[in-house]
Every structure is written in C-alpha cells, then in structure tokens.
Amino acid sequence: MDLGEGLRKAIARLTGATIIDAKTIREFNKELQRALISADVNVELVLALTKKLEDAALKEKLPPGVSAKDYITNMLYEQLVKLMGSGFEPVMKPKRVLLLGLYGSGKTTTTAKLAKFYQDRGLSSALIACDVSRPAAYEQLETLAKQAGVGFFGIKDEKDVRKIVRQALASLKDKKVLICDTSGRNALDKALIDELKAITEEFKPDEKTLVINADTGQVAGKQAAEFNNAVKLTGVIVTKLDGSGKGGGALSAVNAANVGIEFIGTGEKLNMIELYDSKKFVGKLLGMPDLESLVANVQQAIKEANIKPEEAAMEELTFNTFYNQLKTLNKMGSMKNMLGQLGVANVPKETFEQSEAKMKKYKSIIDSMTVKERDDASLLNNSERVRRIAKGSGATEKEVRELISDFNKMKKFYNMMKNDRNVRKQFSKFMPK
C-alpha cells in the first residue's frame, strides 16, 4: 500500500463514521499514523501531526456551517502541505546548474530531463559529462542528450574534471543553460567532495542541486544535510515518485533538513519531471484532481507527438487520427499518473496494466494496416484483410476485430461530440497555445 492509498483509507474511515467522537478520531489517527510511518515519514513528525488533528477535532470550536469531517480533512491537507514543504518556481534566465547525487539516485537521467525542461521553455540547453568514475557514464549522457534534443560536451576517458569544464564552457558558449553531470558514490566521501569543489571552482554554477531517490525515505534528509554542509546546495530534486510509498518520507525529510525541493521525477521518460508544488502533491495523495497539470501534459504531449492542429481539433476520426491519439497518451506517461491528475484513485494495478497492454497491442495492429485501411475503416469488413493484419501484427483475428469494434463505438461518440458546440469549446482548452 503506497502513501496515497493509506491516506485515502484513513479519510474513508472518517467519512464513513456516523458520529465524530473521541473514539472515531483516535481510530482515524491510528490509520493515519500507520500510513505515514509505513511510508517512512519520521515518527516524531507523525505524532505531532496527529496530535494537532486530535486537538482540533475535540477541543476547537468548528466554524459555522462546516462539518467536523470537512474540517478535519482540510486540516489534514494543510498539515501535510506544511510537512512536505513549499513549492518552487525557477528563474527562467541563462544559468549554470551543477547536479550532484549518490549512486542509484537517477542523477544522469535527471540531467537530461532538466535540460529538456528548460529547452522546451525557450532556453537552449546543453549537458556536460563530468562523471569520470562510472563506466559508460559518458555514453549514457551522450545518448540522453540526443534523445532530449539538447547539446552535449564530454571528453571520453578524461579524468581531469577541470579540463572537461574549461573546454565545455568554450564549446557551449552559445547555450543559455548548461547542466553538468557529476560522479556519484555509495556515500559522500572526501574524494567526491574534493572533486565537486574542483568542478565548482571551474564551472562557477548558479545552482547546485542534489538528486535523491524517493525510495531512500528518511535517509533523504540525512543525504541533503550532508551535501548541503559540504557544498552549500541551492535545492533538491526527488526522483522516482511514480507511486513510491517512500515518497512522502523523502519529501518530509528533505523539508526537515531545510533544503528546498525544486523538482520531482515521476517516471523514466524525459518529459516526466515536474516543478515541485506541495499543494498539488498532497492533493494527488488525497485524490483531489489536478486539472492544471493534466491540461499542461496534454498540450506538451500533442506538441511532442507532432500532431497537426487540424488532427486534434475533432475533424474526422480515422485509424490515422486514432493512432495519433494513442501516441499522445503514450507521451503523457502512465495511465495511473493521468488518472491521479483527474483525482481518480484506488484503481487496481491490474486494471492499469491491462489497459496499457491493450493500447500497445492496438498500436501494433494499426501499424500493420495499409494507408488506405487507416483512412477508410469500412475496408476492414473484409475477412482476408483482418487475417493479414492479425498475422502482420502478431495479434489474433479476435483482437483485430475487438479494435475495429472499439474504434466504431468511439467514432460514433466522437461524431456526437463534434457536433456539440459546448464540447468543442471545452476541448479547445487542451490545444497548444
């Protein structure tokens, strides 16, 4: 059970109670404590939070017209936001960013994500390969730079980090944002500190950002404090927050260490990095919709999938436009993340997996269609065509017919929406500006 599921279970216990009395509050707090502690949130912080909730529920006078359930739920939201820290808004100007982190933090992938984040917002970006200890680090960063469409500089097999930085600054002087990847260790030691200080002296970073894996839980706070003491951090990025039960523990621990959280990584894809906003994060845990993020994700996905505006504007549904919609969904990340932004929680894991497997199968089937078949679905009433498509895609004939049936149902619904002026108006909000 992850943190969000545990919190929602505690709230459900409160919501289902007929009377909010001392017994109900204590049972609610026990459920809450279990959820937070199992997610590796510090015990002292948990006890302090639940004590505040109990005092508020049993001792404070409720505002007029507000039920005890709503009052406690709102207070839980506010206390969790406080526990998880504040939000972050980056300064969008030329800068140099130094990324640091231990082995397994996801630092190298985050380097590329961050460069893509800034480049997508109009600041040309490039990566500098200064991880001189991990095998294949140079090749990995070079590959990620190509995938992100950003600049890259490194000197293969070079161990002198000062030399790499000097040549990088000369080579990449036309780039607005330079992001330097660095070596990691199993723990922060003197050799790593000396190397980071050498890079800092040469690179002169505007930002020194630590990358931490959410799975480290409370240890994240210790890491943040140690790196901060060694090199004076400007912020932290917490990775692998795509459903990790330890995510809340990592975020609360970093906040307790008084080092600001800047971004969170929510998946492996290069677009799966978000500005940290504790209100949105806690809202997602509690099952509250985050429509602003959903709209932003849709717009970015449409842009990255190279979908023409006329194809996204509800003109006509063919297998071509349907295929583009599948590409857009794929660009948006996991279905679990999308439903979370809509405030839909507690959907079984098997349901996500089955739906995502089905979409993948549908893409393969459409790939095996001819150009004419994609444009004119009526051609697929022919059994020979269905048999050929099934063979070419590795699907069964039954699966091909399932796709055709689902497509025809969708087309009927699509045409109904297309003729509704109010629906078209709402849909326009999702189009890239």
Task: Tell me the CATH number of domain 291-430, given options 3.40.50.300, 3.40.50.720, 2.60.120.260, 1.10.260.30.
Answer: 1.10.260.30
Q: pLDDT of 47-57, one tens digit each?
A: 999 998 888 77
pLDDT at 342: 44
DSSP code of residue 286: T
Using 50, 70 and 90 to split pLDDT, how confident is the model at 386? very high
Q: What is the mean pLDDT of residues 261-277?
A: 90
State the chain's mean pLDDT as an integer.
82
pLDDT at 241: 82
pTM of the model: 0.68
Q: Round to whole Å and give the CA distance between 408 and 92.
A: 46
Using 50, 70 and 90 to split pLDDT, how confident is the model at 402? confident
Q: What is the mean pLDDT of residues 17-46?
A: 87
Nearest to 22 by CA among 59, 48, 47, 52: 59
pLDDT at 431: 47
pLDDT at 119: 96
Question: Considering Cα of 84, then 110, then 153, then 178, what sign does the dihedral take?
Answer: negative
More confident residue, 258 or 16: 258
Using 50, 70 and 90 to split pLDDT, how confident is the model at 295? very low
pLDDT at 291: 43
Name the β-bridge partners of 264. Answer: 238, 274
Tell the CATH superfamily of the 3-84 domain: SRP54, nucleotide-binding domain (1.20.120.140)
More confident residue, 347 or 262: 262
pLDDT at 410 over 90: no
Q: What is the mean pLDDT of residues 350-370?
A: 76
Q: Round to whole Å and give the CA distance between 334 and 126.
A: 27
DSSP code of residue 129: E
Q: Round to whole Å and give the CA distance between 245 and 247.
A: 6
pLDDT at 193: 93
Using 50, 70 and 90 to split pLDDT, how confident is the model at 340? low
* Residues contacting 12, CB < 8 A, separation 6+: none
Residues of the chain with CATH 3.40.50.300: 95-282
CA dihedral 331, 332, 336, 342 (to 10 degrees): -160
Nearest to 287 by CA among 15, 66, 52: 15
Q: What is the mean pLDDT of residues 32-54?
A: 89
Strand-strand pairing, 273-275 and 261-265:
antiparallel
Residues of the chain with CATH 1.20.120.140: 3-84
Q: pLDDT of 138-179, one tens digit each?
A: 999 999 999 999 999 999 999 999 999 999 999 999 999 999
Give the CA distances from residue 125 to residues 114, 175, 239, 252, 379, in Å, rounded to whole numbers and listed in that order.
9, 6, 21, 31, 47
Using 50, 70 and 90 to split pLDDT, how confident is the model at 344? very low
CATH code of the domain made up of 95-282: 3.40.50.300
More confident residue, 421 or 141: 141
pLDDT at 273: 93
**What does the block give as tokens for 344?**
């839909």
pLDDT at 107: 95
pLDDT at 341: 46
pLDDT at 14: 79
Q: Round to whole Å and give the CA distance between 348 and 353.
A: 9
DSSP code of residue 305: T
Q: pLDDT of 75-110, one tens digit each?
A: 888 888 888 888 889 999 999 999 999 998 999 999
Backbone phi and psi for residue 207, each to the nearest 5 degrees, phi listed first: -135, 140
Q: What is the DSSP string of 67-114?
A: -HHHHHHHHHHHHHHHHH--------S-EEEEEE--TTS-HHHHHHHH
pLDDT at 289: 54
pLDDT at 315: 54
Residues of the chain with CATH 1.10.260.30: 291-430
Give the CA distances from residue 121 to residues 114, 116, 117, 118, in Å, rounded to whole numbers and listed in that order.
11, 9, 7, 5
